[in-house]
Amino acid sequence: MKLRRFLFIFTVLQILFFTGCWSSHEVNTLGITVCIGIDKTENGYLVSKQIINPRAIASDKATMESPIVVYTTEVNNMAEVSSRFMTQVSRKINDSHLRLVVFSEAVAKEGIQNVLDYFARNHEFRTDYYFVVARNATAKEILGILTPIETIPGVDMYNSLNMSEKEWAPIKTIRIIELVSSIMADGKNPVLMGIEISQNKTSPKSTEVLKQSGEYKLLKYSNLGVLSNDKLVGWLDEDESKGYNYITGNVKSTVEHVYFDEVKITSMTTKVKSSTRVYLLENKPAIEVKIKIRQNIRSVEGSFDIISEENKQILNEMFAGKVKSSCEKALNKMQKELRTDVFGFGEAIHRKYPKIWKKIKDDWNDKFSNLPVNITVEVETKQLGEITKPLFMKEEE
């Protein structure tokens, strides 16, 4: 009896251990997607997928093959994408490692709601990939470029965006949850990072494969695109993009510089805290934005005594003025030209004064254009560097 019970339990355990996932696929049978590009056509979309070439990646020896293959297919709507690609690719396409989605400007201007619906509903996609807009190029052209450092261009684009957001104020990443939430929100609109081909940089030893796939070129992220609901309505320049990120608290670290007479002084921002307060001014909503910055001095190009408390205070005020100028440029662009609230001021009014918001939300673009906004910036310099005087400044006799 005990032996029979033991054999039964053993058999059940064996079944559990040897049972695999019904939908599993071996890695070497898959085509792994790292980027998806979406361009506009007359009747729908041209969808491009940057897929890893496993034969080129797996080889221990140098290979003449391109590390990626870009497949394209034309669809009437996004629901057809998976089925259409199956007619071209001999492998099961796996989209779970997607790093980047690139919209063309034409797609972004027309509206991205239908495209986002496809990405949100498809269970194969995770939620950690980024969205960007191709500038002065098609999405397909962006996907076809081989990058010189990373083997897989999609990984290079993802890593570059991820790292630069932490080090450079004009850069912002956005994933699907934040993008959809911003489109659906009352009183807030999203922004998307732009990506463009920077320059032609031919590899010293260009191969026939590279000529077919596209020579080595540099891609760079350039400024923020502004969406009204789900449609691209304009672009911020670099300074305005920086101002937007300061106001919304997206700056983690960045470099700033000011000139004191002819002396160039550069700082590294180490901490930024931004807060938005809603109050009533003559019974109408108004906004106060407070930005507090902590920084370290990185370089002093000229003769300037940074030890002096008076000079440190002057520097703090100069850096604060520069940041405030960037913020006011971004605010002016949004209020007077694009008439779109990307800062979430409407959302803040909704939370603080829901009854007032209910009265103004249908006419928010006009109300936002005349919304009083006061911006204050405080800068604190913590460290002056390893040396406290310019390296080649001579002592006065």
User: pLDDT of 157-180, one tens digit each?
Assistant: 999 999 999 999 999 999 999 999
> Which structural domain, as residue segments, surrounds residue 44?
27-235
pLDDT value for 390 = 59
Residue whose entry in the numeric block shows the structure tokens 């996907």: 143
Is residue 288 a contact partner of residue 374, using CB atoms and an 8 Å limit? Answer: yes
CA quadruple 219, 222, 224, 226: dihedral sign? negative
> Do 204 and 257 belong to one domain?
no
Q: Which of 235, 266, 288 represents a domain boundary (last residue)?
A: 235
Nearest to 248 by CA among 365, 109, 373, 120: 373
Residue 372 DSSP one-character state: -
- Rounded to 5 degrees, φ, ψ at 179 are -65, -50
The answer on 137 and 58 residing in a single domain is: yes
CATH number at residue 396: 3.30.300.210
Exposed (0-12), middle (13-18) or buried (19+): which is 169, by Cβ within 10 Å?
A: buried
Q: Please, are residues 142 and 102 in contact by the beta-carbon 8 Å criterion?
A: yes
Same domain, 280 and 209: no
Same domain, 197 and 325: no
Tens-digit pLDDT profile for residues 76-89: 988 888 888 877 77
Residues 6+ apart with CB under 8 A from 54: 28, 32
Rounded to whole angstroms, the Cα distance separating 288 from 279 reads 8
With a CB cutoff of 8 Å and minimum separation 6, the contacts of 21 are none
Q: What is the rounded distance in angstroms from the CA atom of residue 262 to the CA atom of residue 75?
A: 58
Among the candidates 235, 259, 291, a domain finishes at 235
Q: Which of 235, 261, 283 is the last residue of a domain?
A: 235
pLDDT for position 308 = 82
Displacement of CA 134 from its chain's centroid (Å) = 12
Which residues have C-beta within 8 Å of that of residue 338, sequence separation ≥ 6?
A: 226, 228, 233, 234
The beta-strand segments (E) located in the chain are 30-40, 45-52, 68-75, 92-94, 100-103, 130-134, 191-200, 217-228, 231-235, 254-260, 263-281, 284-301, 373-383
Look at strands 30-40 and 100-103 and give their pairing. Answer: parallel
The answer to whether position 143 is within a domain reads yes
pLDDT at 107: 97
Residue 32's DSSP bridge partners are 94
Is residue 262 within 8 A of residue 374, CB to CB? The reply is no
Closest CA to 141 of 237, 213, 225, 58: 213
Per-position b or e across 353-379, b if 16+ CB within 10 A of its CB: beebbeebeeebeebbeebebebebeb
Same domain, 216 and 260: no
pLDDT at site 164: 93
Q: How far apart are CA 149 and CA 156, in angstroms?
A: 8
Q: The tokens of 266 are what?
A: 């550069």
Q: Do residues 80 and 127 both lie within one domain? A: yes
* CA Rg value for the chain: 26
My answer on whether 260 and 183 are in the same domain is no
Calculate ∠ Cα 323-326-327, nearest 5°. 90
Q: What pLDDT is recorded for position 55?
A: 64
Q: Which residues contact 391 (CB under 8 A, 6 or more apart)?
A: none
Residue 99, in any domain of the structure: yes
155 CB burial (10 A radius; 0-12, 13-18, 19+): buried
Cα separation values, 355 from 221, 350, 351, 352, 360, Å: 41, 8, 10, 9, 9
Same domain, yes or no, for 298 and 194? no
Per the listing, tokens 């709507």 go with 77
Both 222 and 91 in one domain: the answer is: yes
Determine the pLDDT at residue 83: 80
Query: Same domain for 313 and 373?
Result: yes
> Cα–Cα distance between 189 and 158 in angstroms, integer?
23
Asked if residue 329 and residue 185 are part of one domain, the reply reads: no
Task: Please give the pLDDT value at position 169.
Answer: 93
Of the chain, the percentage scoring pLDDT greater than 70 comes to 82
Compute the C-alpha angle 115/186/329, nearest 5°.
90
Residue ranges for the chain with pLDDT beneath 70: 1-30, 55-65, 90, 199-216, 385-397
